[in-house]
Amino acid sequence: MTDVKKMDNSEPKIIAFCCHYCAFAAADLAGTLRLKYPPNVHIIRLPCTGKLDALYLLKAFEAGADGVFVAGCLEGSCHFISGNLRAKKRVRSIQGLLEKLGIGKERLEFFNLSSAQGDRFAQIAREMTERIKKLGSLGVNLSPNPSPKEGRELPPFPSGKGPGVRSVEKEQL
Amino acid sequence: MAPAIESNLKRALKSKKFVVTAECGPPKSADRKVIEEKARLFKDWVDAANVTDNQTAVTRMSSLAACGILVSLGLDPVFQLTCRDRNRIALQSDILGAYALGIRNVLCLTGDHQSFGNHPQAKGVFDLDSVHLIETVRQMRDQGRFLSGDELVGERPAMFIGAVENPFAPPYEFRALRLKKKVEAGAEFIQTQIVYNISRFQEFIARAGDLGLLERVYILAGVSPIKTPGAAKYMRDNVPGLDVPNAIVSRMEAAGKGIEDKKARAEAWRQEGIKICVELIQQLREIKGVAGVHIMAIEWEEAVPEIVQKAGLKIQ
Amino acid sequence: MIVADQKPIEEILQMVEPYRRVLFLGCQSCVAVCMAGGEKEVGLLAAAVRLARKQQGRPIEITEGAVKRQCDDEFNEPWRKTIEQQEAVLSLACGVGVNKLSERFDLPILPALNTKFFGEVERQGIWTEVCAGCGNCILHLTGGICPIARCAKNLLNGPCGGVRADGTCEVSQNGPHPCAWVMIYERLGRLNQRKNIENLFAAKDWSSGRHGGPRRRIREDMLLEG
């Protein structure tokens, strides 16, 4: 479990769970095409959005995310057939839960796009950033065990280094 | 000593006349005048009058009490008793009490599930099912024994035992067989679910005949006058176990066509509903094995005298 | 298996409201299979409650865990030290687990689940009630289909008149379900045992079921000394 250090209190942190075959590829393409999208978005690559456990979404918020989106292939084009359909169900379920927790379902979203849609990825990233900016920072910053007795030093939120997470070149806004 | 009260229904059925019974819904209040008024409506037109037992699981004045009132007014009530609200102790107790009040006919039913009524959180009892109840009454009457095996010492409830059957619910092939089970358990007369589909009903009667039941049990076909086309559609689409042919729905709709005035249109619908009911009665009368009709004019008891008259039925 | 639903999150938050240090203890048997109280569900619920409490400005310290079977001291005892450090335990086991923990540990044991029935896995995500625990099984006579559990009126000489044309029961407040007696009729047909339902089934003895009071099973030959 990781802790998100905010560089600046007004800049929301958005976590994007992207499937390798479509969304991540689209994000990559956006980078290649030098399309502008906000640096607030941190991408986590999954082999398929079907790998998404509902728990990842809550853990993302616990780790300090102000907004989360899940991006998968277009319906009917999932590399693993129906992973994106299952992910959508899980997202909807957690959206309902977030409403009941007082966090609000708008902070979580699900998108479909194809690997060729670099522009769409940039648009999604901008859209979510705008949305979360309007909603404001969540102000939740939890370590898994708030008891100081643990004394565990937690590593910072990955900024692109480490296995499974590729850094995506993007323009600074 | 006053003469022993006899079941008029039993006597009428034995005399081979085409019998008429009707249904009386008790009020959702403690007002006995409601029962008295319905008794007045039925008195000269029916051989016996059923009183429903918290029908559709909605709390109403108890059937036992209302039947008691009907007895005091000179009618022959059919005491409807369901298994939903009472366990075997209470059911047997009510049979004894009913007989003591002069009630001579009992209709043994399972009862609508409590989820349909106004107290869906209630615990449904269903200690016995309708077949057990029939058997229990018969045992009390003929062997002088309670369900526990204990001897019934003293006057036995010599009830005329009735049951219901629905020819229009699946599994269709099993319905006549189930009727046989009830007859073996002790059912002496049957009132069926409302009939609109004559050919379907004829099939059921034929099957019952094959099983030798027509000589062993009196079958009264259920009929019900339809008030509006909306009611017809509702019964067709939303009531499980009811078979309402589209032809009947169309007739109801046609009856009101072109009539602008609401009151006149409602009256036209009612007239058609009664007409259809009378026609069905006349068709049912032709079927061998049908001993009579049971008119369920729900919330429209005033229609009963008109129906009986128009169908040319008489009571003895 | 025992099938249970998780209580609405609002109710759970209300239950843990007075506490700041709670153990969320799941069970890896029945409730894990019906996806209500297994390890996964413990993780999800704990994250949700932490988030909600942080939003309220009243953080809560949650220890997460799950035992193999919460109905047995053998699996609960190893958690004694942890439990004794808590203000309360939120049990994600069925009602049996809650009762069991309450027997051994002197602190509030809260139920996160509403325990419902004995059921089967129809397919992933759907669990259906099929046994009523009546204590007097007649499944050999009804083709293996239980009329006590699966008929809303526990009929033994069914079906009643309320069967829809498609063979489902008219009682559908818990969703549509097939009429148990239609199923029994059809299955007995396939097994060539229709005779079974042509005769009357006697009235049921309910005293072997819940109506006779809380039940106990004892195997004398298995009792240990001491």
Contacts with B, C 194-223, CB within 8 Å: 198-204, 206
C164 and B240 within 8 Å at the Cβ level: the answer is yes
CA A78/CA B33 separation, integer angstroms: 72
pLDDT attached to residue C213: 86
pLDDT attached to residue A169: 38
Segment A7-33 shows an average pLDDT of 89
CA-based nearest residue in chain A for residue C39: A55
Contacts with A, C 15-44, CB within 8 Å: 40, 43-44
CA distance C80 to chain A (A): 20
Instruction: Report the percent of chain A where pLDDT is more than 70.
Output: 75
Residue A168, pLDDT > 90, answer no
**Contact yes or no for B159/B99 (Cβ under 8 A):** yes
- Element at B237 (helix H, strand E): helix B229-238
Q: Which of A59, A101, A146 sits opposite C52 (nearest CB)?
A: A101
Residue A153, pLDDT > 50, answer no
Task: Decide if C121 touches A, using CB distance below 8 A.
Answer: no
Instruction: Report the percent of chain A where pLDDT is more than 90.
Output: 71
Residue C85, pLDDT > 90, answer yes
C55 and A54 within 8 Å at the Cβ level: the answer is no
Least confident of A81-90, A122-131, B18-27, C169-178: C169-178
Task: Decide if C185 touches B, using CB distance below 8 A.
Answer: yes
Segment A51-73 shows an average pLDDT of 96
Locate the DSSP E strands across C28-125.
Answer: 61-67, 88-91, 109-111, 113-123
pLDDT attached to residue A147: 41
Task: Decide if C225 touches A, using CB distance below 8 A.
Answer: no
Residue A167, pLDDT > 70, answer no
Mean of per-residue pLDDT scores for chain C: 95
Residue A6, pLDDT > 90, answer no
Segment A73-93 shows an average pLDDT of 96
Chain C contact set for A140 (CB, 8 A): 51, 54-55
pLDDT attached to residue B298: 83
SS (H, E, C) chain A: CCECCCCCCCCCCEEEEEECCCHHHHHHHHHHCCCCCCCCEEEEEECCHHHCCHHHHHHHHHCCCCEEEEEECCCCCECCECHHHHHHHHHHHHHHHHHHCCCCHHHEEEEECCCCCHHHHHHHHHHHHHHHHHHCCCCCCCCCCCCHHHCCCCCECCCCCCCCCCCCCCCCC
Segment C79-92 shows an average pLDDT of 97
pLDDT attached to residue A158: 38
C10 and A100 within 8 Å at the Cβ level: the answer is yes
Residue A69, pLDDT > 60, answer yes
CA distance C82 to chain A (A): 14
- Neighbour count for residue C221 (Cβ, 10 Å): 5
> pLDDT grade, residue C119 (50/70/90)?
very high
Closest CA to A26 of A171, A110, A123: A123
pLDDT attached to residue A139: 75
Segment C1-13 shows an average pLDDT of 97
Residue A159, pLDDT > 50, answer no
- The b/e string for C162-184 (b: 16+ C-beta within 10 A; e otherwise) is bbbeebbbbbeeeeebbbbbbbb
Residue A120, pLDDT > 50, answer yes
Residue A155, pLDDT > 60, answer no
Q: Which of C163, C171, C181 sits opposite B113 (nearest CB)?
A: C171
Segment C69-91 shows an average pLDDT of 97
- Neighbour count for residue C202 (Cβ, 10 Å): 12
Task: Decide if C124 touches A, using CB distance below 8 A.
Answer: no
> pLDDT grade, residue A154 (50/70/90)?
very low
Residue A161, pLDDT > 60, answer no
pLDDT in tens, chain B (316 residues): 344 678 999 999 999 999 999 999 999 999 999 999 999 998 999 999 999 999 999 999 999 999 999 999 999 999 999 999 999 999 999 999 999 999 999 999 999 999 999 999 999 999 999 999 999 999 999 999 999 999 999 999 999 999 999 999 999 989 999 999 999 999 999 999 999 999 999 999 999 999 999 999 999 999 999 999 999 999 898 888 888 999 999 999 999 999 899 999 999 999 999 999 999 999 999 999 999 999 999 889 999 999 999 999 876 5
CA angle C103, C104, C107 (to 5 degrees): 90
- Cα dihedral sign for C130, C134, C140, C141? negative
CA distance C137 to chain A (A): 39
